[in-house]
Amino acid sequence: MSIELQSQAAPAVELPRLNRSLRPSAKAPVRIVHLGLGAFHRSHQAWYTHQAGDAADWGIASFTGRRPDAALALAEQDGLYTVVERADSGDSFAVVSSIVEAVDGADMQRLAALVAAPATAVISLTITEAAYRLGTDGHLDSTAPDVAADLALLASGSGSPTTPLGRLVLALAARRAAVAGPLAVVCCDNLSNNGTVAHNAVVGLAGAWDADLAGWIDANVSFVSTSVDRITPRTTDADVAAVQAACGYRDTSPVVAEPFSNWVLSGDFPAGRPRWEDAGAVFVADIEPYENRKLWLLNGAHSLLAYAGQLRGHTTVAQALADPLCLRAVESFWDEAEANLSGADLQIPAYRAALLARFSNARIAHHLAQIAMDGSTKLRMRAVPVLRAERAAGRSGAAAALMIAAWMDYSAAAAAFHDPLAEEAAAANRLSGTERIRALLGLVDPALAGDAAVVGLLEGLCGTFGELAVAP
């Protein structure tokens, strides 16, 4: 299905814009609605859908999250964009055509109309971990200001919600009203049990507005859990120029990704789904071992490198991994994580070796600052479960704790600390000694903050990577 384009010499004349003439076949009808039109959605779910044998039947209408301008740029290209697969050995280019509509996420009317359409069978989500507004108890925090504001809006019956969850709930209300039948919500954010998390967040928000709607969602919406994987750094101007030079057209919205990709799914699709298995997706009954392997080994190492690496003055994953102190910390964390992984044929040694190779791909400039964002949420999935499991087994969990300690030091040192709890972290950093550690740990896991031994362990680990080396 994909068009492989050969490299061409850099053209001297104005290039044509990537446009509908490059669409390989007629536009597929919308049967998937996606929330979170970002680079990862385009390098992953849209790429799988594009390669499915029945791609002609499965168009995606993709709604933006934090970047409404992304819809405009993509709409000007008829939804088409180039995926640049960046291997150690070079780039390959393919035009992806599964996105048939790119829409500003604030367009509630269009979202409700598409979700209410009987043809729509799947709603997929890449709205970021933090967007599920989980409290530290794992349930929706309906007191979070934006959630509370959306709830007030839903109750008043006027105006449009601003959070992805609020928009989704209102769109599902439209589907219920249209008697359009069951469908699947497929969460593609890096959370453990992400289908359950999405269920709890959506039903929690719906229930706080309208108990009948919550009941309808419970009975009609299947929440599919997934483990998603493909390293996709933010697109740069140099990437745009590289596509133009190689492909002979102007694409303002290419996406660069590593050649590797993985998608494991578990759950029901009551209204059908594309044949994603044609592109290598795997459907399993028990997803937890795969999720944990990916969240702990890949994402855990990423977070550790993001904080430790920046404290040591590095900018990218590949640079941080080349630093022996960071590499040792990653290997120790992997040892701890591995001791707590079981349940399927996980082939951990091969997985670890592959991760080292993937992280070392220096042609993928994966910026640590991008990974460092939203750490208070991410650490709950990436460090805390390993720390808890190690301690339950009578061991210290020092390597998992080191990830949290590095985050603490980074929260104090970073020139720009992006986190849903940034203000609380700043307040905690005005404290000192044990009080500071306890307050920061409380933002990640309040129960652990009550454990004097863990607080002491973290206090001893702070400063391991230096404290003030973060570049402004």
The residues binding ligand CS2 (CB under 6 A) are: 190, 229-231, 298-299, 302, 370-371, 378
Residues 6+ apart with CB under 8 A from 144: 133
Nearer to ligand CS2, 154 or 379 (CB): 379
Among residues 252, 254, 255, the alpha carbon closest in space to that of 230 is found at: 255
Nearer to ligand CS2, 52 or 317 (CB): 317
Nearer to ligand CS2, 302 or 314 (CB): 302
| Strands laid side by side in the 59-63 sheet | 99-103, 59-63, 30-35, 122-125, 183-187, 221-229, 262-266, 282-283
Nearer to ligand CS2, 176 or 358 (CB): 358
- The residue type found at 373 is M
Question: Dihedral of CA 303/306/307/309: which sign?
Answer: positive
Among residues 364, 352, 316, the alpha carbon closest in space to that of 87 is found at: 364
Among residues 240, 251, 175, the alpha carbon closest in space to that of 213 is found at: 175
| Least CB distance to ligand CS2 at residue 187 (A) | 13
DSSP letters for 126-174: ---GGGG-B-TTSSB-TTSHHHHHHHHHHHHT-S---SHHHHHHHHHHH
Nearer to ligand CS2, 112 or 301 (CB): 301
Among residues 86, 92, 98, the alpha carbon closest in space to that of 51 is found at: 98
| Least CB distance to ligand CS2 at residue 384 (A) | 15
DSSP state of 297: I
Nearer to ligand CS2, 306 or 311 (CB): 306
276 neighbors 212 (Cβ within 8 angstroms):
no
- The first and second tokens of residue 360, run together, are 């070392």
Nearer to ligand CS2, 77 or 261 (CB): 261
| Least CB distance to ligand CS2 at residue 421 (A) | 16
Q: What are phi and psi of 312, to 5 degrees?
A: -90, 5
Among residues 203, 197, 186, the alpha carbon closest in space to that of 271 is found at: 186
Q: Taking CB positions, which residue lies at the least distance from ligand CS2?
A: 302
| Strands laid side by side in the 255-257 sheet | 3-4, 90-96, 81-87, 255-257
140 neighbors 133 (Cβ within 8 angstroms):
yes
| Least CB distance to ligand CS2 at residue 257 (A) | 9
Nearer to ligand CS2, 78 or 229 (CB): 229
Nearer to ligand CS2, 116 or 371 (CB): 371
| Least CB distance to ligand CS2 at residue 369 (A) | 10
| Least CB distance to ligand CS2 at residue 230 (A) | 5
| Least CB distance to ligand CS2 at residue 372 (A) | 8
| Least CB distance to ligand CS2 at residue 231 (A) | 5
Q: What are phi and psi of 221, to 5 degrees?
A: -110, 125
| Least CB distance to ligand CS2 at residue 9 (A) | 33
Q: How far apart are CA 92 and CA 454, in angstroms?
A: 48
Q: How far apart are CA 132 and CA 129, in angstroms?
A: 6
Nearer to ligand CS2, 358 or 391 (CB): 358
| Least CB distance to ligand CS2 at residue 69 (A) | 21
